[in-house]
């Protein structure tokens, strides 16, 4: 795995490509879900392993925070998340030590986050969700394409962290004093 830092131009190209593609794919699928699934019964596929079901989420992941007041949800999910996403985007663009896979992971996180953030600011604090997976009563929450990007980016960051920790030779550890 290449861990060489990406030059600024490549970092910008990768970041913007992934963010724009993530937001576009998510927003197009959400518009399709609104047109095809809103007000319709749930659709089941592959022996009920995959479901399409329209939902609007006022909270975060698995509706966390949905019961907060509208003012608190706005501050938390629109203002603070917006600031965090801008900071993460800036770090992704200017982080001189970031390798290709770090940039990809961060861009997936930013792209998914920005698309869900855009839903919140343009849909009265709601995010459109429409997919659900599971077997029997063991099911995921209802999610969207942006959530898949966020989960993929988070998983990539975990794998990269594990890989980097494993790649550090023991001789580079700081010797004990004495």
Domain boundaries, given as residue ranges, for the chain: 8-162
Segment 148-173, tens digit of pLDDT: 999 999 999 999 999 888 876 666 55
At residue 56, φ and ψ (nearest 5 deg) are: -120, 125
What is the distance between the alpha carbons of residues 168 and 173, in angstroms, rounded to a whole number?
8
Q: What is the DSSP string of 2-61?
A: --PBPPHHHHHHHHHHHHHHHHHHHHHHHHHHHHHHTTS--EEETTTTEEEEEEEESSSG
Segment 65-94, tens digit of pLDDT: 889 999 999 999 999 999 999 999 999 999
pTM given for the model:
0.88
What is the distance between the alpha carbons of residues 91 and 77, in angstroms, rounded to a whole number?
20
Q: Which residues contact 25 (CB under 8 A, 6 or more apart)?
A: 145
């Amino acid at each position: 795995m290449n861990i060489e830092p990406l030059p600024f131009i490549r970092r910008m190209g990768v970041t913007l490509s992934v963010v724009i593609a993530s937001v576009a794919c998510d927003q197009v699928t959400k518009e399709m879900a609104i047109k095809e699934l809103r007000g319709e019964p749930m659709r089941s596929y592959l022996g009920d392993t995959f479901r399409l079901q329209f939902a609007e989420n006022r909270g975060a992941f698995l509706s966390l925070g949905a019961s907060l007041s509208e003012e608190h949800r706005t501050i938390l999910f629109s203002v603070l998340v917006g600031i965090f996403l801008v900071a993460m985007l800036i770090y992704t663009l200017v982080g001189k030590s970031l390798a290709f896979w770090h940039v990809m992971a961060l861009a997936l996180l930013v792209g998914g986050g920005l698309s869900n953030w855009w839903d919140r600011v343009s849909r009265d604090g709601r995010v459109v969700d429409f997919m659900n997976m599971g077997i029997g009563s063991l099911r995921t929450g209802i999610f969207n394409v942006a959530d898949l990007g966020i989960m993929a980016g988070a998983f990539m960051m975990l794998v990269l962290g594990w890989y980097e920790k494993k790649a550090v030779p023991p001789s580079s550890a700081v010797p004990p004093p004495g």
